[in-house]
Chains A and B, each alone.
Chain A
Amino acid sequence: MAVPEARVEPGERAGERFEAFYVREYRGIVRLAYALSGSRLAAEDIAQDVFLRAYLDWPRIRRPAAWVRKVTVRRAGRAARRRLLEARALARLLAGRGPAVAELPPHDAEVWRAVRALPRRQAQVIALRYVADASVAEIAETLGLAKGTVKAQLHRGRQALAARLGTATEGER
């Protein structure tokens, strides 16, 4: 039984219209960028830059959902880039065009701060798992890792977070 050659999977292939892909994925990418950059000011700019690249290169991108996630986690983790984007966003803010992304409650912001303090790969895996709701297989594909590694990084990341957040929680009480 041979596989039909031209089967198109909506959302997975370049056969989908970019606009539909964008509408479906945009908020998720902003969330991912916010979690990993820690900046609600920069999150939308990171997302827009990623989607612009995707738009320009759309016919050649094989797996758009994985692609935008991968580029986002790489860019959102770069501090210098984040500062630049924050400056741009701050200028917009001063001009009266504030960000639509709401600030996180302190209790939740603390969680993502702890995630960002993890080793880079652990932070990426945790963010993809919990923010993008990606499966182990999706994360493995997105980051180019083996599934066993993803599981190991998730395990280590959660353990490290338990230690960090546990201490912090006890300290607050």
Chain B
Amino acid sequence: MSPEGPGAGMSEERLRSAAEALHRSVAEVDVMERLERLEGRRRRYRATGVAVAVLLVAAVAGAVALAARQAGGPAPLTRPATTAPGPAPAGTVVATIPVQGRPSGVAVGGGAVWVATGGADRSRVVRIDPASNRVMATVAVPLGQAELAVGAGAVWVASSSDNSVIRIDPATDRVDATIDVGRQPSGIAVGAGSVWVANALDDTVSRIDPASNQVVATIPIPGQGSALSVAAAGGSVWVSGNYGLHRIDPAGNRVTPVDVCCGEVAAGAGGLWVAMGMDRTVLRLNPATGRVLARIPVPPTGGSEGPFHIAAAGGAVWVTSETVQPKPGDPSLLWRVDAAGGRFAGTLRVGTVGRNHVTPTVAAGPGAVWVTVGDADAVLRIRP
């Protein structure tokens, strides 16, 4: 039965059956004949020139219309023209640490590296000692797809499988509290004296008081799919989603929109950063205002990757790649951006896409960057 209930299972069946019917409906289409016809149209357009220009203007206008909602930036459909491949690797892999489970999130803090692993039935948070690169403890928790944050004296784990935040005490490696939040928490950050949780299905942010482990506010974010990623920087909390970026003022939980769209958001390295997968760009924002300070393209590498997960610390921003259509054998990449210079600074292949691909996630700590490689059930320690 579908996890969404018998009705949704029924609709799944109907959809699959209807998709099969679509397959049958186009079976008689002569593709080669259509290609010849298209070639004829293309020649006519090329011959007239003017028509080509009109069409391209229309294409650009369409792309700009799409991009207008996505921060008013350049059209996302074409490759950034100014990008040059960086000659330097992003860093050096100095340790590969098996975690006996599929890692889906990582955070650094409290003297350790914390990794969420496994699926809904066998999930754990793994503690790695950065001095020895060894797994020192595992904490069994219900996770699903997990996000982690460290701060306010605890490790905070957003569990999408049971719509809660799990508080782990780094002194004992035990679960201190389980706090109900909104549906499908997909982003978590600590800042301004609170823990902030972006609830993807509710379009809300839960504000948790770490002193009481209570949700003290549930803050609606306008728009469907508007609360997917969260970061705290510059005295504000920043929430990213489909409808761009929103700023929460911790003083009164007031929400104001910022004209920036769309991707995972991270704080650190003196800034606020957004990984724009579609544009293959990393944005640097003013953490006080949300204004775009720089658009930093990452270079094409021959694959179809775009920035997805992002972390920032120690003068650098680190971004892991997500592919349009992950295929076994594709590279999983880590990009490095020089925060001060605002430029791309290197690429590192951190893995190879496997059959049940999970996007690599990244966290940055003192002197080391940690990347989860779900395709290899391991965490990489990288020296910048």
Q: Name A's B-contacting residues (CB within 8 A).
A: 1-9, 11-13, 19, 22-23, 26-27, 30-31, 34-35, 40, 44, 48, 51-53, 55-57, 60-63, 65-67, 70-71, 74, 100-105, 108, 111-112, 115, 119, 121, 126, 130-131, 133-135, 137-138, 140-142, 144-146, 148-149, 151-153, 155, 158-159, 161-163, 165-166, 169
How many A-B Cβ pairs are below 8 Å? 248
Q: Which residue of chain A has the shortest Cβ distance to B85 in the bound complex?
A: A5
In angstroms, how far is the closest chain B Cβ from the Cβ of A16? 11
Q: Which residue of chain B has the shortest Cβ distance to A111 in the bound complex?
A: B18
Pick from B28, B30, B225: contact of A149, CB below 8 A.
Answer: B225
B38 at the interface (CB under 8 A from A): yes
Q: Which residue of chain A has the shortest Cβ distance to B147 in the bound complex?
A: A148
Pick from A22, A53, A63: contact of B59, CB below 8 A.
Answer: A53
Which stretch, B6-14, B110-118, B124-132, touches the partner chain A? B6-14
A65 neighbours in B (Cβ, 8 Å): 324-325
A48 and B322 contact, CB distance less than 8 A: no
- With A105-B21, A111-B18, A144-B278 known to touch, is A165 a contact of B56 (CB < 8 Å)? no
B25 neighbours in A (Cβ, 8 Å): 31, 34, 40, 101-104
B55 and A53 contact, CB distance less than 8 A: yes
B253 at the interface (CB under 8 A from A): no
Best-surrounded residue of B45, B303, B324 (most CB of chain A within 10 A): B324
A51 and B325 contact, CB distance less than 8 A: no
B357 neighbours in A (Cβ, 8 Å): 137
Q: Which residue of chain A has the shortest Cβ distance to B186 in the bound complex?
A: A148
Pick from A5, A23, A108: contact of B21, CB below 8 A.
Answer: A108
In angstroms, how far is the closest chain B Cβ from the Cβ of A171? 14
- With A130-B19, A158-B11, A161-B14 known to touch, is A71 a contact of B324 (CB < 8 Å)? no
- With A152-B201, A158-B4 known to touch, is A31 a contact of B22 (CB < 8 Å)? yes
Q: Which residue of chain B has the shortest Cβ distance to A60 in the bound complex?
A: B78
The 27 listed contacts between A and B (C-beta, < 8 Å) are A1-B349, A2-B349, A4-B302, A12-B304, A19-B35, A27-B31, A30-B29, A31-B25, A52-B42, A53-B59, A56-B55, A57-B56, A57-B59, A71-B62, A102-B26, A102-B28, A105-B21, A111-B14, A112-B18, A130-B15, A130-B19, A133-B19, A137-B322, A144-B262, A146-B228, A146-B263, A161-B11
B194 at the interface (CB under 8 A from A): no
A163 neighbours in B (Cβ, 8 Å): 7
B52 at the interface (CB under 8 A from A): yes
A62 neighbours in B (Cβ, 8 Å): 77-79, 280, 300, 304
In angstroms, how far is the closest chain B Cβ from the Cβ of A120? 11
B224 at the interface (CB under 8 A from A): yes
CA distance A71 to B77 in the complex (A): 10
Which stretch, B135-143, B284-292, B326-334, B370-378, touches the partner chain A? B326-334
Q: Which residue of chain B has the shortest Cβ distance to A3 in the bound complex?
A: B349
B52 neighbours in A (Cβ, 8 Å): 56
Q: Which residue of chain B has the shortest Cβ distance to A62 in the bound complex?
A: B79
B184 at the interface (CB under 8 A from A): yes
CA distance A4 to B14 in the complex (A): 44
Interface SS of A by simple majority: helix
B93 at the interface (CB under 8 A from A): yes
B324 and A3 contact, CB distance less than 8 A: no
Pick from B8, B70, B262, B278: contact of A162, CB below 8 A.
Answer: B8
CA distance A166 to B363 in the complex (A): 45
The 8 closest A-B pairs by CB, nearest first: A162-B7, A7-B302, A149-B225, A111-B18, A108-B21, A148-B200, A161-B11, A108-B18
- With A1-B348, A53-B59, A135-B325 known to touch, is A165 a contact of B10 (CB < 8 Å)? yes
Q: Which residue of chain A has the shortest Cβ distance to B349 in the bound complex?
A: A3
A140 neighbours in B (Cβ, 8 Å): 277, 322
In angstroms, how far is the closest chain A Cβ from the Cβ of B165? 16
B323 neighbours in A (Cβ, 8 Å): 12, 137, 141
CA distance A83 to B105 in the complex (A): 48
B24 at the interface (CB under 8 A from A): yes
B38 and A146 contact, CB distance less than 8 A: no
B17 and A52 contact, CB distance less than 8 A: no
B262 and A146 contact, CB distance less than 8 A: yes
In angstroms, how far is the closest chain A Cβ from the Cβ of B222? 14
B12 and A52 contact, CB distance less than 8 A: no
Best-surrounded residue of B5, B18, B28, B93 (most CB of chain A within 10 A): B18
A48 and B34 contact, CB distance less than 8 A: yes
B62 and A135 contact, CB distance less than 8 A: no
A22 neighbours in B (Cβ, 8 Å): 31, 35, 38
Q: Give chain B interface residues in 268-298, CB to chain A under 8 Å.
A: 277-278, 280
Q: Which residue of chain A has the shortest Cβ distance to B78 in the bound complex?
A: A60
CA distance A153 to B201 in the complex (A): 9
CA distance A53 to B325 in the complex (A): 22
CA distance A70 to B18 in the complex (A): 21
A70 neighbours in B (Cβ, 8 Å): 77
